[in-house]
Amino acid sequence: MPKFAPKLSELKKEFEEKPGLLKGDYSDKEWWEIPVEFRDGNWCYPTKPEVLEDLKFANPRKWSPTDDDWKLPDGWEKTIKEGMKDRVERFRSFKLFLDTCVRCGACADKCHFFLGTGDPKNMPVVRAELIRSVYRNDFPLAEKILKGFSGSRKLTPEVIKEWHMYFHQCTECRRCSVFCPFGIDTAEITMMGRELLNLIGVSNNWILNPVSNCNRTGNHLGIEPHTFVQNIESLVEDIEDLTGITVEPTFNRKGAEVLFITPSGDVFADPGVYTMMGYLLLFHHIGLDYTISTYASEGGNFGFFTSNEMAKKLNAKMYHEAKRLGVKWILGGECGHMWRVVHQYMDTMNGPADFLQEPVSPITGTKFTNAASTKMVHIAEFTADLIKHGKLKLDPKRNDHLTTTFHDSCNVARGMGMFDEPRYVLNNVCNSFHEMPENTIREQTFCCGSGSGINTEEYMDIRLRGGFPRANAVRHVKETHDVDSLVTICAIDRATLPALMNYWNPGVSVYGLHELVGNALVMDGEKKRTEDLREDPMAGFEDEEGDED
Amino acid sequence: MAYVHVFLGHFAKDMNREIVQLIREKRQIVLDQWKGYVLSLFPSAMKSATPIAQAIEHGLGDVLDSFETTPEKRTAALSGVIRILAVQSFSPSKSMSVFFALRSILREIGGSGKRQIKQKHWDEFQTSMEQLTLEAFDSYMVHREKIYQLKVDESLRQSFMTRRGTRA
């Protein structure tokens, strides 16, 4: 008997005493008759009308999830049904996932939102049922005939409210799909659910405002090219102050060998900017011939949380810029969903990139055959290859003030199978790395609880609940190994894990992998280093008395 | 203020020994029932084996053990439980009811069997429990305030370079 398995007496007690679907107020009712309640902390601000107008999306209006009337457009039921029919026909995965589930429940306790909230509609199987129940009412012939026996229901405004609530309590992390015997990917169900909601103007401003910005300027914050350059030049000055080294990034330079694209969070937000400083130091260290685009100035793609078409449109700028600048291949920074889009969709969405070459490291000669199709290499792979070939001068003692663990970002780990490269890099740039428990890392990693565009402050309560399983695993290594630094390779992680750690594990800070690389790099001609890239003192490198800068 | 001072001081130096002894002897039974009550506040599917339930059990156990230790340890133990309750979907009053539930559980367990605890001990214990509940309320507010601070901090981090540029 597993240590934590509930005892029979506990299960009996729960069944008899706790409110549930089969008893009390909800006895004799269907699961979907439990009402959805929107209250502060469990909903995101709806998309502003001007944002929807800018994107030419449906039904721009002022509304709130707490309103009784969501002001759905005339004929919205038809729009949803036709939208579902269209997607069932276009996306075979969607049809398969709707048809094949046998409700075995293997996915149920794998979802971080279910574990963190206990809400049965957060079981992936039930989340998918939110759509399946409508699908069965109108589509498969046998089930249309057997209405009432097949768990089908009519499409009502209450269904839309339920979809909005629970398709935004799924971060598309795909942990459930690892455990599903059929490989059903609930993330794709959620993606379809959100697409359908967008058809009738039910969406979140935190997702669509960045989409609109990205559509206009190339990045989520809407930073204009000159400000984008200014920010990076400001980081260049910081690097010079700390190390005495002047790094020289170039922008929109035609003929560079490599185009470097990273999430814009690395250019404007704390702590992402320190990761950016790490990249810049690394490229200077190896003399990489690279350039940064002020148009392809965003690796992230919130279009991916909106619709297939919008994901494609926002992604297209990567290849456009690579072609315009005439580079040989693309190097990508630390990001989560950017890599899912690049790895699983970009080639067929906007490829083939036959104007680029199969990526070859100009420093080691390594051919990245795994990127032969997309022509885009992940920076963790690139750096791991440099270290493997002894091309970096590293002093891991410079990170001795940090005791680290590593959070596998869902999209990089489960989305593209990258587990060992970041760990290899981390183990070479610091002396104190401790793994979290086995069932919370690698392909079983727990999500930060804020991915897929729900990382907005008004949603903090839900995020803290959904992020609890990840925080709980960090707590374990904090207590057993005094871990104080959570290293990750995702911009949304860097943006959201600080809040999660501050609440559940005060004293644990969040770092990007290449920030630690930047700390450890021994640069030719550098001045004596006493502080890391955050200007925190490095243990064992303090100024001695009488030292001068 | 003087009353408050005496009131607050009471718990630390004089948690009724009879009740402490009862908790020590029946710790697992008390803990099981107390945890059962807390989980009953959650939606129907919050099971005993979930990380949340385990953390709650761990935290409640720490609170029970803290009756024999220092106020600092009790504050830390309370924080461990309240941190979880303060982000849930149920109301603040339901969160605070957790501590009234402990009193009822102990009365029920203490009133059965051979051991009969005298009323005067329960009266003393009642004062201690009121103090514990007030401390729990303080902790609840600290955590709610912290959530608002997290929102502010996150917004500031997002505009880090803009603010830095403005200062320059």
Examine residue A492 and state whether it is found in any structural domain, yes or no: yes
Do both A182 and A254 map to the same domain? no
Among candidates A493, A328, A519, A516, which has minimal Cα distance to A413? A493
52-71 in B: which are within 8 Å (CB) of A? 52, 54-55
Confidence of residue A462 (pLDDT cuts 50, 70, 90): very high
Do both A192 and A240 map to the same domain? no
Single out the residue in A203, A226, A244 at which a domain terminates: A203
Do both A215 and A188 map to the same domain? no
Q: How far does the CA of residue B51 sit from the closest CA of chain A (Å)?
A: 6
Q: Which residues fall within 8 angstroms of residue A471, CB to CB, at 6 or more apart?
A: A500, A501, A503, A504, A505
Confidence of residue A149 (pLDDT cuts 50, 70, 90): low
**B46–A118: do the CB atoms touch at under 8 Å?**
yes
Q: Over 80: is that where the pLDDT of A125 sits?
A: yes
Do both A217 and A197 map to the same domain? no
Contacts of B58 in chain A (CB under 8 A): none
The whole domain housing A245 covers 211-520
Is residue A435 within 8 Å of A428, Cβ to Cβ? Answer: no
Phi, psi dihedral angles at A291 (to 5 degrees): -140, 160
What value does the mean pLDDT take over residues A7-21?
59
CA distance A278 to A130: 44
- Give the tens place of pLDDT for each residue, A337-382: 999 999 999 999 999 999 999 999 999 999 999 999 999 999 999 9
**B52–A115: do the CB atoms touch at under 8 Å?**
yes
Confidence of residue B137 (pLDDT cuts 50, 70, 90): very high
Is residue B106 within 8 Å of B33, Cβ to Cβ? Answer: no
CATH number for the domain harbouring residue A38? 1.10.1060
Confidence of residue B89 (pLDDT cuts 50, 70, 90): confident
58-117 in A: which are within 8 Å (CB) of B? 109, 114-117
Contacts of A23 in chain B (CB under 8 A): none
Residue A364 CB coordination number (10 Å): 16
- Residue A312: its pLDDT value, please? 97
Q: Facing residues of A329 across strands?
A: A258
Single out the residue in A151, A174, A203 at which a domain terminates: A203
- Residue A14: its pLDDT value, please? 58
Q: Give me the amino acid identity at A426.
A: L
Is residue A132 within 8 Å of A96, Cβ to Cβ? Answer: no
Long-range contacts of A55-58 (CB under 8 A, 24+ apart): A55/A208, A55/A211, A55/A212, A55/A215, A55/A310, A57/A198, A57/A201, A57/A203, A57/A208, A58/A198, A58/A199, A58/A200, A58/A201
Q: Over 90: is that where the pLDDT of A2 sits?
A: no
- Residue B46: its pLDDT value, please? 72
Examine residue A548 and state whether it is found in any structural domain, yes or no: no
For B55, the closest of A14, A472, A495 (CB atoms) is A472
> Which segment of A17-21, A444-448, B6-10 scores lowest on mean pLDDT?
B6-10
Quickly list H helices, A269-307.
272-286
Confidence of residue A515 (pLDDT cuts 50, 70, 90): very high
Confidence of residue B45 (pLDDT cuts 50, 70, 90): low
- Residue A238: its pLDDT value, please? 96
* Domain tally, chain A: 2
What value does the mean pLDDT take over residues A458-476?
96
Interface mutation target, options A503, A504, A510, A511, chain B, most CBs of B under 10 Å:
A503
Q: Over 60: is that where the pLDDT of B10 sits?
A: no
Do both A193 and A135 map to the same domain? yes
Peptide bond into A271 cis (omega under 30): yes
- Residue A290: its pLDDT value, please? 98
- Residue A536: its pLDDT value, please? 96
CA distance A28 to A6: 27
Report the CATH number of the B2-140 domain. 1.10.490
* In the block, residue with structure tokens 């690389």: A517
Do both A175 and A248 map to the same domain? no
Q: Over 80: is that where the pLDDT of A247 sits?
A: yes
Do both A154 and A216 map to the same domain? no
Q: Over 80: is that where the pLDDT of B114 sits?
A: no
Q: Over 60: is that where the pLDDT of A546 sits?
A: no
For A231, the closest of B40, B146, B161 (CB atoms) is B161
Examine residue A413 and state whether it is found in any structural domain, yes or no: yes
What value does the mean pLDDT take over residues A323-342?
97
Do both A308 and A245 map to the same domain? yes
Do both A433 and A341 map to the same domain? yes
Q: Over 80: is that where the pLDDT of A122 sits?
A: yes
Q: Over 90: is that where the pLDDT of A311 sits?
A: yes
Examine residue A23 and state whether it is found in any structural domain, yes or no: no
With b for 16 or more beta-carbon neighbours within 10 A and e for fewer, the A259-281 pattern comes to: bbbbbbbbbbbbbbbbbbbbbbb
The answer to whether A123 contacts chain B (CB < 8 Å) is yes
- Residue B4: its pLDDT value, please? 42
Q: Over 70: is that where the pLDDT of B70 sits?
A: yes
Q: Over 60: is that where the pLDDT of A458 sits?
A: yes
Q: Over 90: is that where the pLDDT of B142 sits?
A: yes
- Residue A148: its pLDDT value, please? 60
Between A432 and A24, whose confidence is greater?
A432
Examine residue A502 and state whether it is found in any structural domain, yes or no: yes
Confidence of residue A150 (pLDDT cuts 50, 70, 90): low
- Give the tens place of pLDDT for each residue, A81-114: 999 999 999 999 999 999 999 989 899 999 999 9
Task: Return the domain boundaries, chain B.
Answer: 2-140
Q: Facing residues of A330 across strands?
A: A259, A376
- Residue A18: its pLDDT value, please? 57
Peptide bond into A352 cis (omega under 30): yes
The average confidence (pLDDT) of chain A is: 92
Residue B146 CB coordination number (10 Å): 17
Ramachandran sector of residue A183 (left: φ over 0; alpha: ψ -120 to 50; beta: rest): left
CA distance B76 to B66: 9
Residue A343 CB coordination number (10 Å): 22
**B161–A19: do the CB atoms touch at under 8 Å?**
no
Examine residue A8 and state whether it is found in any structural domain, yes or no: no
**Helix, coil or strand: residue A344:** helix
**Helix, coil or strand: residue A291:** strand
> Which segment of A11-15, A193-197, A477-481, B83-87 scores lowest on mean pLDDT?
A11-15
Interface mutation target, options A44, A45, A461, chain B, most CBs of B under 10 Å:
A461
**A269–B160: do the CB atoms touch at under 8 Å?**
yes
**B45–A114: do the CB atoms touch at under 8 Å?**
yes
Contacts of B162 in chain A (CB under 8 A): 268
- What percent of chain A is modeled with pLDDT above 90? 86
**Helix, coil or strand: residue A543:** coil
- Give the tens place of pLDDT for each residue, A35-83: 888 988 899 999 999 999 999 999 999 999 999 999 999 999 999 999 9
Between A154 and A520, whose confidence is greater?
A520
The answer to whether B72 contacts chain A (CB < 8 Å) is no
Do both A446 and A512 map to the same domain? yes
CA distance A328 to A357: 5
Query: Using CB atoms within 10 A of its CB, is residue A545 exposed (0-12), middle (13-18) or buried (19+)?
Result: exposed
Confidence of residue A11 (pLDDT cuts 50, 70, 90): low
Q: Facing residues of A291 across strands?
A: A259
Q: Over 60: is that where the pLDDT of A293 sits?
A: yes
Q: Over 80: is that where the pLDDT of B153 sits?
A: yes
Quickly list H helices, A200-247.
205-217, 225-243
Chain A: residue whose CA lies nearest to B55: A472
What value does the mean pLDDT take over residues A278-300?
97
Do both A283 and A160 map to the same domain? no
Chain A: residue whose CA lies nearest to B152: A457
**Helix, coil or strand: residue A376:** strand
Do both A411 and A393 map to the same domain? yes
What value does the mean pLDDT take over residues A419-440?
98
Report the relative pairing of strands A290-292 and A258-261 from DSSP bridges.
parallel
Examine residue A353 and state whether it is found in any structural domain, yes or no: yes
Structure tokens at A430: 């610091």
**ipTM of this predicted structure:** 0.89
DSSP assigned state of A509: E
Q: Give me the amino acid identity at A399.
A: N
**A273–B48: do the CB atoms touch at under 8 Å?**
no
Contacts of B147 in chain A (CB under 8 A): 460-461, 464, 503
Chain A: residue whose CA lies nearest to B42: A118
What value does the mean pLDDT take over residues B36-54?
83
For helices A272-286 and A491-504, what crossing angle results, to 10°? Answer: 130
What value does the mean pLDDT take over residues A283-308?
97
- Residue A16: its pLDDT value, please? 60
- Give the tens place of pLDDT for each residue, A182-191: 999 999 999 9
Confidence of residue A6 (pLDDT cuts 50, 70, 90): low
Structure tokens at A444: 């079983």
The average confidence (pLDDT) of chain B is: 84
